[in-house]
């Protein structure tokens, strides 16, 4: 039998983990549904208008990042508590199988069920907001104007009216890509930090972004011509003779740059998680 990965043994680990944490995961999903419904209820009562697709997408991604990172920071929380940690380490499976099991629940299953819960709340709440808004519209000063109900947002669509920042092309692709990178960083933090992993990982990421900001603003800005400033990570604006011109890298270089900043970093964080897990001691 393979000591690193055996499919049958891994399926048993997945089944055992699911049965042991079923109630906790169910309560977490109910809490997420309650927060989404609470936000929508507040908006409906305050504005008396249909929920626009823009706000639905914004609500989806804010909830995805917050709940996803919070959930990721607790994936290996059992290892930081004596009795639970010993029990987790004594499970007859390899570290690789245990990690794949938690990644399955923490990334793939979480993403699927979060999206499902979001739409289970979003669809009836949007219908309710349309009905409420239609009734209020009949008695308002805007009754002479046509009433426009809101549609259901598609978070996987790049249509401008659906996205939180419509002036950025393919924003949803970048948001999903960044989410999996950030979530993998929180997974690493759950293994690396023994206590308050969510807070410590958040501080570490803010410190990393701060140093990157200093690098671009102080070091790279000194290499740029006068009267110029960054427009994005691969382009900048140059003001010359009362005109502003774009200076940017080729399209393929721009896509390669964002790809390198994206998925490879997620795999680096997950690889570091695996080696840190192998060294974990209670």
Rounded-to-integer distance, Cα 256 and Cα 260, Å: 6
Tokens 């499902």 found at: 116
What is the predicted pLDDT for the residue at 33? 93
Cβ-defined contacts of 40-48 (< 8 Å, 24+): 40/121, 40/122, 40/125, 40/129, 41/125, 43/129, 44/125, 44/128, 44/129, 44/132, 48/132, 48/133, 48/136
Angle at 174 between CA 169 and CA 176, to 5 degrees: 130
Any domain includes 1 = no
SS3 22: helix
pTM of the model: 0.81
Residue 176 has a pLDDT of 87
Q: From the CA atom positions of the chain, what is the Rg in Å? A: 23
> CB neighbours (10 Å) of residue 17?
18
Q: Please, are residues 27 and 113 in contact by the beta-carbon 8 Å criterion?
A: no
SS3 233: coil
Asked if residue 114 is part of any domain, the answer here is: yes
Is 2 a domain residue?
A: no
What is the DSSP track for 59-75?
HHHHHHHHHHHHHHTTT
Q: Which residue has the tokens 């393919």?
A: 170
Contact assessment for residue 99 and residue 273, using Cβ atoms and an 8 Å cutoff:
yes
- Is residue 249 packed enough to be buried (19+ CB in 10 Å), middle (13-18) or exposed (0-12)? middle
Domain count, the chain: 1
Distance, CA of 122 to CA of 78 (rounded, Å) = 33
Helix, strand, coil proportions of the chain in percent (round to 5)?
70, 5, 25
To the nearest 10 degrees (0 to 180), the angle between helices 171-192 and 251-261 is 30
Residue 32 is predicted with a pLDDT of 92
- Is the residue at 66 inside a domain? yes
Question: pLDDT by residue for the chain (282 residues), tens digit each?
Answer: 567 778 888 888 888 888 888 888 899 899 999 999 999 999 888 888 888 888 898 899 999 999 999 888 888 776 666 666 666 666 777 888 888 888 899 889 999 999 999 999 999 999 998 888 877 767 766 666 677 788 888 888 766 555 555 556 677 887 888 898 899 999 988 888 877 888 888 898 888 888 877 776 666 666 666 666 666 666 667 766 666 666 666 666 667 766 766 678 888 888 888 888 777 655
Does residue 273 belong to any structural domain of this protein?
yes
The neighbour count for residue 63, using CB atoms within 10 Å, is 19
Domain extent, residue 100, equals: 7-278
User: Is 183 domain-assigned?
Assistant: yes
- Cross-strand pairs, 90: none
Q: What are phi and psi of 153, to 5 degrees?
A: -70, 150
pLDDT of residue 162: 56
Q: Choose among 185, 214, 180: nearest CA to 202.
A: 185
Give pLDDT, residue 159. Answer: 63
DSSP 147: P
Which uninterrupted H or E stretch holds 97?
A: helix 95-103
Does the residue 157 lie in any domain?
yes
pLDDT in tens, 53-79: 888 988 999 999 999 998 888 887 766
Query: For residue 230, which of 218, 241, 242 has the smallest C-alpha distance?
Result: 218
DSSP letters for 217-230: IIIIGGGSPSSEEE
- Helix 95-103 to helix 263-278 angle (10° resolution) is 140
Count of other CB atoms within 10 angstroms of residue 220: 12
- Give the pLDDT confidence score for residue 157 in this predicted structure: 77
């Amino acid at each position: 039998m393979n000591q690193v990965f055996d499919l049958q043994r891994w399926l048993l680990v997945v089944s055992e983990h699911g049965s042991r944490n079923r109630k906790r995961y169910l309560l977490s999903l109910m809490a997420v549904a309650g927060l989404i419904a609470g936000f929508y209820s507040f908006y409906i009562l305050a504005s008396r208008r249909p929920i626009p697709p823009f706000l639905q997408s914004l609500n989806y991604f804010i909830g995805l990042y917050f709940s996803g990172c919070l959930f990721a920071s607790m994936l290996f929380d059992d290892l930081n508590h004596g009795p639970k940690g010993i029990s987790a380490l004594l499970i007859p499976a390899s570290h690789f199988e245990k990690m794949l099991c938690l990644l399955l629940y923490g990334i793939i299953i979480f993403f699927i069920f979060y999206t499902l819960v979001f739409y289970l709340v979003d669809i009836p709440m949007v219908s309710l907001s349309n009905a409420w808004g239609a009734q209020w519209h009949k008695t308002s000063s805007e009754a002479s104007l046509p009433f426009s109900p809101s549609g259901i947002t598609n978070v996987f669509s790049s249509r401008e009216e659906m996205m939180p920042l419509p002036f950025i092309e393919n924003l949803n692709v970048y948001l999903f890509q960044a989410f999996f990178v950030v979530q993998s960083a929180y997974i690493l933090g759950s293994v690396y930090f023994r206590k308050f992993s969510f807070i410590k990982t958040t501080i570490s990421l803010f410190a990393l972004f701060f140093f990157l900001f200093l690098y671009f603003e102080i070091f790279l800005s000194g290499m740029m011509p006068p009267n110029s400033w960054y427009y994005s990570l691969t382009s900048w604006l140059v003001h010359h003779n009362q005109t502003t011109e774009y200076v940017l890298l080729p399209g393929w270089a721009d896509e390669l740059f964002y790809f390198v900043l994206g998925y490879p970093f997620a795999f680096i964080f997950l690889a570091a998680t695996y080696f840190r897990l192998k060294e974990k001691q209670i």
